[in-house]
Amino acid sequence: MSVPPESVVPPPPPGDPLVGEPSHDQRQWAMFAHLSALLGGLLTGHWLGIGCFLGPLVIWLMKKEVMPFVDDQGKEALNFNITMAIVSAILLALTVVTFGIGLVLTVPVGIVIGIAWLVFTIMAAIKASEGERYRYPFALRLIK
């Protein structure tokens, strides 16, 4: 018995971001987009967060056209790490403007922000490797 052509639903296009599961390559590149922020932070000493967004930026620019899941997660990693760079710059400016007195506030806040950055980045990498879209709890959506 054959099925009438009207009742056959066509399969989604390969790599469709809204339907189905991302491929292994897409999950792996999305995970690298998140983890590259950690590598950038280690290599640059997390100086104003500059190195933290270079890795996600490079991966996103390389893969955004061919891998929709990497496009989504690369933008997410990039937005979060740009947000962290802005927060780091604000803390540094507060320290400089107060001639070091602001260290009483900026050091504890910086430690908490640094730990949150580390934890959220690792969580995002794990979720991306599982094929889940991760959204950081606080990030400016600068890249859309």
DSSP structure class, residue 57: H
Residue 15 lies in a domain: no
What's the pTM?
A: 0.80
At 2 the pLDDT is 58
Residue 140 falls inside a structural domain: no
For helices 103-129 and 68-97, angle between their N-to-C axes, nearest 10 degrees: 170
- The two tokens of residue 100 are 């070091």
Based on the structure, what is the number of domains in the chain? 1
Fill in the amino acid letter for 102. G
The pLDDT of residue 48: 56
120 three-state secondary structure = helix
Tokens of 51: 């190195």
Please report whether residue 94 resides in a domain: yes
Q: Smallest Cα–Cα separation from 114: which of 54, 58, 48?
A: 48
The whole-number mean pLDDT for each consecutive block of 10 residues of the chain, a chain of 144 residues, reads 54 50 93 91 68 88 93 94 90 91 91 92 95 90 84
| Residue numbers of the domain that contains 89 | 21-129
Report whether 46 contacts 114 (CB < 8 A): yes
